[in-house]
Amino acid sequence: MLPIHIAILASGSGSNAENIYTYFARRPDVKINIVISNKIDAFVHKRAERLGIPSITMSKSSLSDAAILLGVLREYQTDFLVLAGFLLKIPDGVVKAFPNRIINIHPALLPKFGGKGMYGGKVHEAVVEAGENESGITIHYVNENYDEGSIIFQAKCPVLKKDTPGDVASKVHALEYQYFPAIVDQVLQKEFGKNN
Ligand code: GRF
């Protein structure tokens, strides 16, 4: 029984990438095979090194070229992609090559506060500015458009009048750590079958 090989794509700190790695660390049926980033100085590389996961940096142009990205994914026998704080759009050719096998986490309740340029702190600032009384996380399949793939899971947290964007970010991160790995696991079971 070959493990399901996962590629994690991340542009920043990689706390979700590490959390997902830790969740599957003792699972013989799932293997985090590669971490791919568009940032050479992303802290996710340091985490990957410490965890013993190969990590590479690819240029924006290579990451936007389906043939190049597919080549790298195949080199690492990739079966499934997890976007964890990855800021670039996945080229259409890769989306087509991995139907229902690419998922992303967004730090807000899509379809609100999503789309190009809506990432990290900007999302939480927009939520507070809009006077929302709740926020949360959205885990969704990736399609040809930013943050528009079908929603797999959402979890909510209250936003209080006194909350700063930083407060909202902390609550949202807590939801990410609580749910993201388990939802990845659920999707793997669904897409690859219980006994893959
Ligand atoms: C997370 O909040 C995620 O929802 C968003 O980017 C952030 C990444 O954080 N897409 P980290 O790099 O996993 O710490």
Alpha carbon of 90 to ligand 1 centroid (Å): 17
State whether residue 114 is helix, strand or coil: coil
The reported pLDDT for the residue numbered 116 is 85
Radius of gyration of the chain (CA): 16
Residue 6, pLDDT above cutoff 60: yes
Mean pLDDT of the chain: 96
The reported pLDDT for the residue numbered 139 is 98
Q: Mean pLDDT, to the nearest integer, of 152-168?
A: 98
124 is catalytic: no
The reported pLDDT for the residue numbered 2 is 79
pLDDT tens column, 24-63: 999 999 999 999 999 999 999 999 999 999 999 999 999 9
Alpha carbon of 170 to ligand 1 centroid (Å): 11
Q: Which of 8, 11, 13, 16 to mutate to test the pocket of ligand 1 (most atoms within 8 A of CB)?
A: 16
The reported pLDDT for the residue numbered 156 is 98
Whether the CB-CB separation of 72 and 90 falls below 8 Å is answered with no
Residue 129, pLDDT above cutoff 70: yes
Q: What percent of the chain has pLDDT over 90?
A: 94
The reported pLDDT for the residue numbered 120 is 87
Residue 17 pLDDT grade (very low, low, confident, very high; cuts 50, 70, 90): very high
E strand or H helix at 157: strand 151-158
pLDDT tens column, 65-77: 999 999 999 999 9
Whether the CB-CB separation of 31 and 5 falls below 8 Å is answered with yes
Cβ-based neighbour number of residue 141 at 10 Å = 19
Whether the CB-CB separation of 114 and 154 falls below 8 Å is answered with no
Residue ranges around ligand 1 (CB below 6 Å):
10, 12-17, 84-85, 105-107, 119-120, 173, 176
